[in-house]
Amino acid sequence: MLAQAVEHLIKNIVDFPDDVSVKSHENARGELLRVRVNPEDIGRVIGRSGRTANAIRTVVQALADHKVRVDIMDVRR
């Protein structure tokens, strides 16, 4: 559910929504959501001084009942 919510949020921010993918991984420290976006969209997703990325992380923590990390990466072709 969290991965789908993050994917929906980010697809509405970026210029290349088809390049957005969110994968969920469980590890010892909790859940990890790996977000991949087009290199041209990385600035939009991170935002000025990381504000957009922090807002996304805040929303995810509010939705989750456990520890969740969100890593934002660009797609290299």
Could you tell me the residue ranges of all domains in the chain? Answer: 1-74
Contacts of 15 (CB under 8 A, 6+ apart): 38, 40, 41, 44
- The DSSP code sequence of the chain is -HHHHHHHHHHTT-S-GGG-EEEEEEETTEEEEEEEE-GGGHHHHH-GGGHHHHHHHHHHHHH-SS-EEEEEEEPP-
**Tens of each residue's pLDDT in the chain, 77 residues:** 889 999 999 999 999 999 999 999 998 888 999 999 999 999 999 999 999 999 999 999 999 988 999 999 876 65
Specify the pLDDT at position 28.
85
Class of domain 1-74: alpha beta
Q: Which residue has the tokens 């590890």?
A: 27
